[in-house]
Amino acid sequence: MAPVVKIEDLHKIYDSGEIPVHAVRGVSLDIHRGEFVALMGSSGSGKSTLMNTLGCLDRPTRGSYWLDGTDVAKLDSNQLADLRNQKLGFVFQGFNLLSRTTALENVELPLLYSKKRMSAKEMKDRAMYCLEIVGLSKRYDHMPNQLSGGQQQRVAIARALVNEPQVLLADEPTGNLDSKTSIEVMGVFQKLNDQGITIVMVTHELDIAHYCKRDLILRDGVVVRDELVQDRSVAEQELQRLAEAEAKAKLIGNPVPAT
């Protein structure tokens, strides 16, 4: 089966400044359907550039990129936009929900720009279904500022899912979340991955990368390590362990004396 993402000798050079910056220097990569890839690397390693290229927001300087069999280099900006809309789902570090817009309408947003014509009812049903997947259907009419960080990120995941993308791209999705909420979000990703959705995720945190199936490490624009994750964390178990620890702490912990 053909890989859903195929990159060959990808280069990206930024020459807007005085000195051209060679951000990505020859990355080749195959990602198959159903994979769950963590993309790691320090700042300046080129992972953001690689993500932008994978997300069809940017075009490579050299090399080629096939997304689900489409040669991305040949597309104009409108075709790229359609590709992003149809084949990719984005989850950002800062959630990037539209403020003062309900969760439901945020999720509907990609449908609005879809080539498929849908009635208002179909759009709403589809968006509600996606909110259901991330467990937020009851809060469909909440504004982002009425939701916690973890809930906002789940709305963002629902939005990423609404057009049934081939690949879900997450750029440090847990970067703004506390550890427990991070695990919850990883739990959502694992569940989605179990249903067969391909996920590529940038992260700084090694323990978060442990929830993925494959770990890619980038340094100075090249892939320096590409390996399968050994003894993978399972979010459900981790959450349970966390809950038990909390309960225990409450039982044995000395109450703070009243002053």
Partner 1 sequence: MMRFIITIKMALRALRRNTMRSILTALGIIIGVGAVIAMVSIGNGAKAQVQNAIAGLGDNLIIISPQSQNTGGVRGGAGTGVTLIPADADAIVTDLQEGSNRVMSVSPYVSGGGYQILANGLNWRPQSMLGVGPDWPDIRSWKVAEGNFFSDDDVKAASKVCVIGKTVADTLFPEGSAIGQMMRIGNIPFKVIGIMDVKGYSNNQDQDDVVLLPYKSHMTRLSRRTSVNSIYVKARNEDVVERVKTDLTDLMTQRHSGVIDFQVQDQAEIAALRNQATTTMTYLLGAIAGVSLVVGGIGIMNIMLVSVTERTREIGIRLALGAHGKDVLTQFLIEAILLSSLGGMMGVALGIGGSEIAGKYAGWAVEPSTPAMVIAVVFSSLVGVFFGFYPARKAAAMDPIEALRYE
Q: Which is nearer to partner 1, 77 or 254 (CB)?
A: 77
CA distance to 33, 46, 50, per residue, from 225 (Å) = 20, 14, 15
**Nearest CA to 154 among 178, 180, 172, 173?**
173
Q: Is 13 helix (H, G, I), strand (E, B) or coil?
A: strand
**Under rule CB under 8 A, residue 254 binds partner 1:** no
Q: From the list 2, 73, 112, 242, which residue makes contact with partner 1 (rule: CB under 8 A)?
A: 112
The answer to whether the beta carbons of residues 80 and 58 sit under 8 Å apart is no
Question: Given the rule CB under 8 A, which of 108-116, 187-195, 197-205, 226-234 is the region that contacts partner 1?
Answer: 108-116
Q: From the list 100, 231, 251, 257, which residue makes contact with partner 1 (rule: CB under 8 A)?
A: 100
Which residues neighbour 156 within 8 Å (Cβ) at sequence distance 6 or greater?
Answer: 91, 92, 95, 96, 97, 106, 173
Q: Which is nearer to partner 1, 57 or 234 (CB)?
A: 57
Q: Which is nearer to partner 1, 82 or 205 (CB)?
A: 82
Q: DSSP states of 62-103 as a string?
A: EEEEEETTEEGGG--HHHHHHHHHHHEEEE-TT--PPTTS-H
Task: State the minimum distance, in angstroms, from the CB of residue 256 to partner 1.
Answer: 39
Q: Which is nearer to partner 1, 171 or 184 (CB)?
A: 171
Q: Which is nearer to partner 1, 96 or 181 (CB)?
A: 96
- 51-90 residues in contact with partner 1 (CB under 8 A) are 52, 55, 57-58, 77-78, 81-82, 84-86, 90
**Under rule CB under 8 A, residue 181 binds partner 1:** no
Q: Which is nearer to partner 1, 14 or 129 (CB)?
A: 14
Residue 194 is classified by DSSP as H
Dist CA 173 CA 179 (whole Å) = 12
Q: Which two tokens stand for residue 3?
A: 């890989």
Question: Given the rule CB under 8 A, which of 9-17, 91-99, 215-223, 242-250 is the region that contacts partner 1?
Answer: 91-99
Task: State the minimum distance, in angstroms, from the CB of residue 154 to partner 1.
Answer: 17
**Under rule CB under 8 A, residue 14 binds partner 1:** no
**Under rule CB under 8 A, residue 128 binds partner 1:** no
Q: From the list 43, 119, 195, 230, which residue makes contact with partner 1 (rule: CB under 8 A)?
A: 119
Q: Which is nearer to partner 1, 29 or 123 (CB)?
A: 123
Q: In what order do the strands lie in the sheet with 222-228?
A: 88-91, 167-171, 198-202, 36-40, 214-219, 222-228
Long-range pairs for 106-109 at CB < 8 Å and ≥24 separation?
Answer: 106/144, 106/155, 106/156, 106/159, 107/131, 107/155, 107/158, 107/159, 107/162, 108/162, 109/159
**Under rule CB under 8 A, residue 141 binds partner 1:** no
Q: Could you list the residues that contact partner 1 (CB under 8 A)?
A: 52, 55, 57-58, 77-78, 81-82, 84-86, 90, 92, 96-98, 100-101, 109-110, 112-114, 117-120, 159, 163
